[in-house]
Chain A
Amino acid sequence: MAGPIRISPSLSVAARAASVLEAPMVEIERVSLWYGAKQALRDISMTVAKHRITAYIGPSGCGKTTLLRCLNRMNDLVDGVRIEGQIRIGGTDIYDPKLDVTELRKRVGMVFQKSNPFPKSIFENVAYGPRILGVRSRADLTAIVERSLRRAALWDEVKDQLDDSGLGLSGGQQQRLCIARAIAVEPDVLLMDEPCSALDPIATGRIEELMVELKASYTIVIVTHNMQQAARVSDYTGFMLLGELIEVAATKELFTTPRDPRTEAYITGRFG
């Protein structure tokens, strides 16, 4: 396996290609991460384009979720985590010690693998973020809730039961509720960690349609196990293996003409 410092020339070329063509939203520069003594990310550099969907694919344990969780510093919660390198979102270094983590998370929303609505009503689930940010007026909250639920394509299904528990919804609806909750605070970036892994194909289809609609307003970074999903929805795809970012390119390019033999081996199903 390659050492931690080495950057494959093909990667830097592809990354640069993306950043030249599009406005960068997230810039990841030589990021390495350790959980205790175990290294989970190895010297990763790339940019994520604004108002595009960027997907990370790779086998289990390759570090794609870890990388995603670096972007809103959720890894801070893990004991014994250590990170090197720099990540800038909208030009701000998010690991700056002076930076308020809650400010960062206001700008970077997240949707988790397992839908996790709060044990509260649908309304309160969506209103949770705005309330945290200090929105008090009922009229404002109602407007935000309706707008967010409409954007998450859930409004028509739940508009008559806003006071029912969010946990009473179906799996797909719960996940869309979580998306509505995440976009209710108007983040710049939306991180999605395998958002469809627990859903059936129909619910998955709806979420995918939703992502394509949402990218007009948000920069979306998604981690997925499902290569077809990455191929269907994303504009850029990064392939990760054992903590390394092997290759990142426009999705079509990566799936049709991968530069790295390991990428090719993975997307053709020879391992992973």
Chain B
Amino acid sequence: MRSLWRSGEPFVWLTGGALAVALLLVAGLVALILWNSLGFFWPKSVLRATLRDGAVVTGQVVEREPVPGKLGEYRIKLKVANRDLYGADFRWVDEREIVRRAEPPELAVIERTEWGVLIGTLGELRDGGRVVATGPGPSWTELTRRLPEAARIRREIRDIEKGEIGRINHAQEQIRLQLRRLALRGAGSDPEVTALERRLVAERERYRVQETRLAELRQRQTASVVVVADAGKEKDLPLAQVVRVYFPNAMGLLGKTGLYAARVWEFVADDPRESNTEGGVFPAIFGTVMMVMIMSLVVTPLGVLAAFYLREYARQGPFVSAVRIGVNNLAGVPSIVFGVFGVGFFIYGVGGSVDRLFFPEALPTPTFGTGGILWASLTLALLTVPVVIVATEEGLAAIPGGMREASLALSATKFETTVKVVLPAVMPSILTGLILAMARAAGEVAPLMITGVVKLAPALPVDGFWPFLHLDRKFMHLGFHIYDVGFQSPNVDAARPMVFATTLLLLAIVLLLNLTAISLRNRLRRKYATSAV
């Protein structure tokens, strides 16, 4: 027994076991996320079940589980959709109750801009109250003919609202602020004010023109499709609201795959709909990446400079040790505390002062005196600076003293040595710290909730209006999106797959950011081939 222990064999098993447990946990988590998220975009078949009492239930099977308390009996959870008709998206059905199952090919799944998915058969197509086609076949033919036009009009309306009218609103706001600035200065010279007011009138005129265009477009949206659902319920759905129509029961593997790809793309590249439970998450991706980038730009120099002072210049002693322990312990402060600090210091303190000094004309509406992507990034930079300091310090400690001496002996000053020898040698360690900081920041939610993240941001922090980069704007974030969709949305059940899909996306982004930094670090290491390899 003793010799077995001394041989080290049990220890090897112990170490292997610990690693296996860790791997298993991670693999299980990733598998769960993958399964739940990737399945979400697959167009599932629609089941039409006839129950024992004669009622018909139509929907997609999303779950199957044993009936509690009854042995050998199962029930299925059907996504019946049609929230506006039935009041609920899901329905549990005991399998024992089902007398007939069918998957009729004419069952359509309709994605629309409001109220979630609609499932049913196409009844008839109307245009301005007049019936154009009746029955599933003719309605579908007519629908496919009219849908591109309807989509084009919808796009045009959106372009006008976001583009033209957005620009006019922006211009009006700028003029209003200029007028206010002149008024505040008290020296509003008359010609200047009149000129501005004339421009304001011109903008209002332009706005009216666009309004007319919008009204005209809306008038052309007269067609609607009548969808027949269970129990003879009907929905008269304007074509303007239809995003996509497909018949999952009639689709082959190829068609489903194509649709799958289209839906994944929509998720990644589109704006959210339906209080974030449908559509895409592009603004959240954009916000997350941009926030991490700004944070990296701030935290790297800050952490590296602090580490350099601690290791290269400060006289090592009890005080420096205390500082070092303090820095390490900062990493243990709850992130929400950093958030509160961010609100108090950055938003009310710095932001408030910036507003009073540079944007007095906009007050009492705050510009920088409210949450925004800059303040959120700075708060996260504070949160992650200990990570960068610790990693850089360890890297500095690992550089052989002989390297510094060699440089000094070549008549370099300490500053030249630090910049030309120590800094390049410590670069891989800095990048390691940055990788850890980015991973931490990308997944952080609590401090963001009070420093600038919103459920739905009206505009991205980057756009075509001067100065193009709007660091004062509120933004969307994938981590907060997960919380919002998963726990704050009006329809948590229907939105749950979105939670997993968003999680997967967040993981993918963190992975991508890290791989970039890691490949950079490896290139540096190869270039210098330091002893740390």
Which residues of A are at the interface with B, using a C-beta cutoff of 8 A?
72, 74, 77, 79, 102-106, 109-110, 112, 114, 116-120, 128-129, 132-133, 165, 167-168, 178, 181-182, 185
Contact = CB atoms under 8 A, between A and B. Distances in A.
Nearest to B532: A119
A72 B409 contact: yes
Given A116-B400, A167-B528, A128 B420 contact: yes
Contact of A116 (B403, B411, B416): B403
9 contacts: A105-B409, A106-B411, A109-B409, A110-B409, A116-B405, A118-B406, A120-B424, A133-B411, A165-B527
Interface string B3-34: 00000000000000000000000000000000
A166 to B, nearest CB: 9
Nearest to A181: B410
Contact of B411 (A77, A119, A168, A185): A185
Shortest beta-carbon contacts, A-B, top 9: A119-B528, A116-B402, A105-B411, A110-B409, A129-B410, A165-B529, A102-B411, A106-B411, A116-B406
Given A105-B410, A128-B420, A132-B416, A120 B528 contact: yes
B257 interface: no
Contacts of B329: none
Contact of A74 (B315, B409, B529): B409
Contacts of A181: 406, 410
A175 B4 CA distance: 47
A185 B410 contact: yes
Contacts of A129: 410-411
B522 interface: no
Interface residues of B, number: 23
A44 to B, nearest CB: 21
B530 A119 contact: yes
Interface string B401-440: 0110111111111001000110011000000000000000
A132 B411 contact: yes
Given A119-B424, A119-B530, A178 B406 contact: yes
Interface in B463-489: none
Contacts of A114: 400, 402
Contact of B408 (A74, A103, A133): A74
A128 B530 CA distance: 17
A165 B528 contact: yes
Nearest to B531: A167
Contact of B425 (A103, A119, A182): A119
B410 A168 contact: no
Contacts of A133: 411
A114 B531 CA distance: 13
Q: Label chain B's interface by main secondary structure.
A: helix
B429 to A, nearest CB: 12
- Which of the listed residues B410, B527, B530 has the most CB atoms from chain A within 10 Å of its own CB? B410
Nearest to B530: A119
Interface in B209-240: none
Contacts of A116: 400, 402-403, 405-406
Contact of B403 (A72, A118, A168): A118
Contacts of B400: 114, 116
A256 to B, nearest CB: 35
A175 B531 CA distance: 16
B528 A128 contact: no
Contacts of A120: 424, 528
A112 B410 contact: no
B407 A103 contact: no
Nearest to A119: B528
- Which of the listed residues A79, A128, A182 has the most CB atoms from chain B within 10 Å of its own CB? A128
Contacts of A74: 405, 408-409
Contacts of A109: 409-410
A116 B531 CA distance: 11
A79 B529 CA distance: 32
Interface in B60-111: none
A79 B531 CA distance: 27
A168 B531 CA distance: 10
Contacts of A104: 411
A182 B408 CA distance: 11
Contact of A128 (B402, B407, B425, B529): B407
Contacts of A103: 411
Given A77-B405, A120-B424, A132 B527 contact: no
A102 B412 CA distance: 7
A232 to B, nearest CB: 25
Contacts of B424: 119-120
Contacts of B412: 102, 128, 132
B290 to A, nearest CB: 34
Nearest to B412: A132
Nearest to B403: A116
Nearest to B420: A128
- Which of the listed residues B402, B413, B425 has the most CB atoms from chain A within 10 Å of its own CB? B402
Given A105-B409, A119-B425, 6 more contacts: A74-B409, A77-B405, A105-B410, A117-B406, A128-B420, A167-B529
A119 B409 contact: no
Contacts of B402: 112, 114, 116
A220 B403 CA distance: 22
Interface in B503-533: 527-531
Contacts of A185: 410-411
Contacts of A110: 406, 409
A30 B410 CA distance: 27
Contacts of B410: 105, 109, 128-129, 132, 181-182, 185
Contacts of A117: 406
A114 B404 CA distance: 13
A119 B529 contact: yes
Nearest to A72: B409
Contacts of A168: 529
Contacts of B407: 118, 128
Interface string B362-394: 000000000000000000000000000000000
A112 B403 CA distance: 10
B522 to A, nearest CB: 14
A77 B404 CA distance: 11
A118 B406 CA distance: 8
B315 to A, nearest CB: 8
Nearest to B421: A118
B504 to A, nearest CB: 39
A133 B416 CA distance: 11
Given A128-B410, A185-B411, A112 B405 contact: yes
